[in-house]
């Protein structure tokens, strides 16, 4: 296809612009001492349920807020608002990922005050979000037990762009004969040394360990660049 | 972003080229009397398990084959080959969808003989595949009961690009308190009149009705353009 090289070149420019804005965002978050966590996963992996639980549990002790991206609807913002934390929806139209500029604009319009934690839930997609830095300190990739153990091998780029893996819907593990050892091996195959948590927003299993990990991160002096 | 209009223009050219190849493919399939079914869904919605079952059940009575797209691995081709049907993997690298040219090339290299049914399993993604016509006669969009009832509302474009919805993993419906009426209403909201099947590749529920629908389609004289 003759247009391919031109497409690649234009895409490179978009990514370069994104990186500039992401760097500014990261610097701003560092100055404001806000720890920013983004969540990526396939649609329906349980990002919103997991994030609602996270917000609900952190909200009494920390200043928390969430931005949530979707092509259409404000459903997730409505669900997340049940946590009592401030939440804002970004609708992307036909775009399969969030970009740093969308986060920047949403925060400017929002005028939200000082935060300890800002969560950014990306559009449900295991491909598109991988190349777009959002200025976050930590990127979580979620994978539900119902999706099959081979997803890290099939979507290596997104697992490589993330810092920590979260295996969700552990309450369904038995019903779908989920094999945690195989998933762990597959995660390590594409990203050696990657930490993972196995959780269920429904039963609560694994959430304390994950929250301890998260809250320990804001006790540390924050780095300018992500780990 | 100043590069946005240029990106859109280049993207339009890619889509135009894709449509030309897709039209040629569709004409070729019509001449050869091959009915082509493509499958799109989120990663882990059960496309491969559903397709393996479809191939296994059709294979004794029809000439069937499958092309399967993934960013990486040949896992799905290996799984589908258990059906005894000829299967070929297309790996897309970082690309989140199949294109008509990939289908065309795979078929040329393959040199597969006359077929009654060709199945094309797209990359797991609820966004990217929607704009790419693959020359298929029927596009199925799969949605598993574990993904949540609101997916048609959140990903309206892919539901609009598909002809039939297939609700998968019905064996898990009770465990996840799946509400079929809500999903049906949401499908109808984005695509009025769209037919759906509720199936489980594990328990076999719903498969007969779906196969009857499929085999009835090749009894009809085939149209040049998809329904």
Instruction: pLDDT band for B3, please (50, 70, 90 cuts).
Output: low
Confidence class for position B13, pLDDT limits 50, 70, 90: confident
The residues near A57 (Cβ < 8 Å, ≥ 6 apart) are A207, A211
Whether A94 has its CB under 8 Å from any CB of chain B: the answer is yes
| Confidence label for B7 from pLDDT (cuts 50, 70 and 90) | confident
The residue behind tokens 């019509």 is B30
Q: What is the mean pLDDT of residues A15-29?
A: 96
Mean pLDDT score across all residues of chain B: 93
Question: To which CATH superfamily is domain B4-219 assigned?
Answer: P-loop containing nucleotide triphosphate hydrolases (3.40.50.300)
- B136-162 mean pLDDT: 97
DSSP A218: H
- pLDDT bin (cut points 50, 70, 90) of residue A135 is very high
Please give the average per-residue pLDDT across A71-78, as a whole number. Answer: 96
Query: Would you list the domain boundaries of chain A?
Result: 4-219
Does residue B63 carry a pLDDT above 50? yes
Residue of B nearest to A44 (CA): B147
**Minimal CA–CA distance to A169: which of A210, A198, A212?**
A198
Percentage of the residues of chain A whose pLDDT score is greater than 90: 88
CB atoms within 10 A of CB A48: 24
- The answer to whether A152 and A159 have CB atoms below 8 angstroms apart is yes
Mean pLDDT, rounded, for A150-169: 97
Q: What pLDDT was estimated at residue A226?
A: 44
- How many C-beta atoms lie closer than 10 Å to residue B101's C-beta? 18
Has residue B1 got a pLDDT over 70? no
State pLDDT tens for residues A191-211: 999 999 999 999 999 999 999
Q: CA of B115 to nearest chain A CA: how many angstroms apart?
A: 28
User: What pLDDT is stored for residue A8 in this prediction?
Assistant: 77
Sign of the CA dihedral with A72 first, then A73, A75, and A76 last: positive
pLDDT digits (tens, 9 = 90+) for B65-94: 999 999 999 999 999 999 999 999 999 999
Report pLDDT for B91. Answer: 96
Distance CA A136, CA B135 (A): 41
Mean of pLDDT values over A26-41: 97
Task: State the burial class of residue B226 (Cβ atoms within 10 Å of its Cβ: 0-12, 13-18, 19+).
Answer: middle
Q: What is the 3-state secondary structure (H, E, C) of chain B?
A: CCCHHHHHHHHHHHHHHHHHHHHHHHHHHHHCCCEEEEEECCCCCCHHHHHHHHHHHHCCCCCEEEEEEECCCCHHHHHHHCCCCCEEEEECCCCCCCCHHHHHHHHHHHCCCCCCEEEEECCCCCCHHHHCCCCCCEEEEEEEHHHCCCHHHHCHHHHHHCCEEEEECHHHCCCCCCCHHHHHHHHHHHCCCCEEEECCCCCCCCHHHHHHHHHHHHHCCCCCCCC
Query: Is the CB of B6 inside 8 Å of chain A's CB atoms?
Result: yes
Predicted confidence at residue B220, as pLDDT, reads: 60
> Is some CB atom of chain A closer than 8 A to the CB atom of B42?
yes
**More confident site: A190 or B4:** A190
Range with lowest mean pLDDT among A216-225, B114-123, B138-147, B183-192: A216-225
Looking up tokens 């740093």 gives A100
Average pLDDT for chain A: 93
Write out pLDDT tens, residues A109-128.
999 989 999 999 999 999 99
Contacts of B160 in chain A (CB under 8 A): none
Statement: residue A2 has pLDDT above 70: no
Mapping DSSP to helix (H, G, I), strand (E, B) and coil, where does residue A104 land? Answer: helix
Please list every residue in chain A whose beta carbon sits closer than 8 Å to the beta carbon of residue B7.
7, 10-11, 14
Say how far apart CA A30 and CA A140 lie, in whole Å.
19
**Pairwise CA distance, residues A41 & A124, whole Å:** 6
Query: What residues of chain B lie within 8 A of the CB of A3, using their CB?
Result: 10, 13-14, 17
Residue B47 forms contact with A (CB below 8 Å): no
Q: Is A221 left (phi over 0), alpha (psi -120 to 50) or beta?
A: beta
Interface check A12 vs B, CB under 8 A: no
Q: How far is A38 from A61, CA to CA, in rounded Å? A: 20
Tell me if A73 and B43 make a contact (CB, 8 A cut-off): no
pLDDT of residue B222: 45
HSE-CB for A123 with a 13 A CA cutoff: 29
């Amino acid at each position: 296809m003759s247009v391919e090289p031109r497409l690649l070149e234009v895409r490179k420019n978009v990514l370069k612009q994104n990186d500039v804005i992401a760097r500014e965002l990261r610097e701003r978050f560092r100055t404001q001492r806000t720890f920013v966590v983004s969540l990526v996963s396939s649609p329906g992996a349980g990002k919103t349920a997991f994030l609602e639980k996270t917000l609900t549990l952190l909200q009494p002790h920390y200043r928390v807020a969430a931005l949530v991206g979707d092509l259409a609807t404000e459903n997730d913002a409505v669900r997340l608002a049940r946590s009592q934390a401030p939440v804002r929806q970004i609708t992307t139209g036909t775009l399969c990922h969030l970009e740093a500029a969308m986060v920047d604009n949403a925060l400017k319009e929002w005028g939200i005050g000082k935060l300890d934690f800002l969560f950014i839930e990306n559009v449900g997609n295991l491909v598109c979000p991988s190349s777009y830095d959002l200025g976050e300190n930590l990127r979580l990739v979620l994978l539900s037990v119902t999706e099959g153990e081979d997803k890290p091998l099939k979507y290596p780029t997104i697992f490589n762009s993330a810092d920590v893996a979260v295996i969700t819907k552990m309450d369904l593990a038995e019903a779908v004969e989920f094999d945690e050892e195989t998933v762990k091996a597959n995660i390590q195959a594409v990203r050696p040394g990657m930490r993972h948590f196995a959780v269920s927003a429904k039963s609560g299993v694994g959430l304390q360990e994950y929250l301890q990990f998260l809250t320990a991160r804001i006790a540390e002096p924050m780095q300018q660049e992500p780990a």
